Chain A
Amino acid sequence: MAKHPQKPINLIKWFDPRNKSLGSWAFILNRITGLGLTLYLFLHLIMLGQLAGGPEAYDGFIALVKNPIFLAGELLVIAAAFIHGLNGIRIGITSFGIAGGKQKQLFIGLMTVAIIAIIYFAIRMFTH
């Protein structure tokens, strides 16, 4: 009996969608957006700390985030939230044994919703 290969951890392989089915795309997307949102969560908490600094600090901060680079960043966060959230719904309900056979259709449907929502928010943000 040969030993199990204890390969060095190859992080890239997690995110390699070649030859993979839709489910893996969902898995990869979920991981990336999840990690991204976690990062954002803590940045966001730190930035909201400006509120404790009183009106000047906060309003100055809001003026800063009005610039297009921050807006684009914010859009990314919204996109990630929609993808992660809607995909989460899919995982949640299939995990309880509901619609397991329809997970692909579910994924396509929910991601369509996500894309529409993202476009809607993009237009809203950049036209205001």
Chain B
Amino acid sequence: MRDGFDVTPRSGEGAGLWFLKILTGFLVIVVLIIHLIVNHLIVEGGLLTYADVVRYYQNSIIPIMEIAFLIFVVTHALMGLRSVLLDLHPSNKVLRLINYGLVVLGIGSIAYGIWLVLVIVGRG
């Protein structure tokens, strides 16, 4: 502590992260609206069977949109989670672990999602 300040340099919250959180939050809302419109208004009867889902994914816009949605949601969710964890004031070491964990979790789930989309598209 120097004069009441904790100035250990570490990337806790920062302008970039904050901006990204707002941005992805906004994009999630935009894509979600499109998603709802497409799902409930354009596709008759919703996506309640496997066959429906596979057919739905034949339109090339759809997989791109879903993947984008996944990326935005995962990024936003994990950054939000990180903010909450930061309020438990983790030590530098724990924060580093959290950072690694969240990055791995994020990349993992996005990769998994992309794989899943490709599988569905491939079944068409």
A–B in direct contact per CB < 8 Å? yes
Interface residues of A (CB under 8 A from B): 9, 14, 31, 34-35, 37-38, 41-42, 45, 48-49, 51-52, 54-55, 58-59, 62, 81, 85, 88-89, 91-92, 95
> Known contacts being A52-B116, A55-B51, A59-B50, is A31 close to B29, with CB within 8 Å?
no
Q: How far is the CA of A91 from the CA of B25 in the complex (A)?
A: 10
How would you classify the secondary structure of chain A's contact residues: helix, strand, loop or mixed?
helix
Q: Pick the contact of B109: A9, A45, A54 (CB < 8 A).
A: A45
Q: How far is the CA of A55 from the CA of B29 in the complex (A)?
A: 30
Closest 3 CB pairs of A and B: A55-B50, A58-B50, A38-B77
Contacts of A81 in B (CB 8 A): 32
- B74 nearest CB across to chain A (Å): 7
- Check A9–B89 contact: CB distance below 8 A: yes
- Check A41–B73 contact: CB distance below 8 A: yes
Give the size of the chain B interface in residues (CB under 8 angstroms): 27
Q: How far is the CA of A45 from the CA of B25 in the complex (A)?
A: 19
- B112 nearest CB across to chain A (Å): 7
Given contacts A34-B84, A49-B116, A92-B26, 10 further A-B contacts (CB under 8 A): A9-B88, A14-B87, A38-B77, A41-B74, A55-B51, A58-B49, A59-B50, A62-B49, A89-B29, A91-B22
CB under 8 Å from chain A, chain B span 68-110: 73-74, 77-78, 80-81, 84, 87-89, 109
Q: How far is the CA of A55 from the CA of B49 in the complex (A)?
A: 8
- Asked if B63 is an interface residue, CB under 8 A from chain A, the answer is no
- Check A41–B22 contact: CB distance below 8 A: no
Interface residues of B (CB under 8 A from A): 22, 25-26, 28-29, 32, 48-51, 53, 73-74, 77-78, 80-81, 84, 87-89, 109, 112-113, 116, 119-120
Q: How far is the CA of A51 from the CA of B87 in the complex (A)?
A: 37
- A43 nearest CB across to chain B (Å): 12
- Check A45–B29 contact: CB distance below 8 A: no
29 residue pairs from A and B, CB less than 8 Å apart: A9-B88, A14-B87, A34-B77, A34-B84, A37-B77, A38-B77, A38-B78, A38-B80, A38-B81, A41-B73, A45-B109, A45-B113, A48-B116, A49-B116, A51-B119, A51-B120, A52-B119, A54-B50, A55-B49, A55-B51, A58-B49, A58-B53, A85-B28, A85-B32, A88-B25, A88-B29, A92-B22, A92-B25, A92-B26
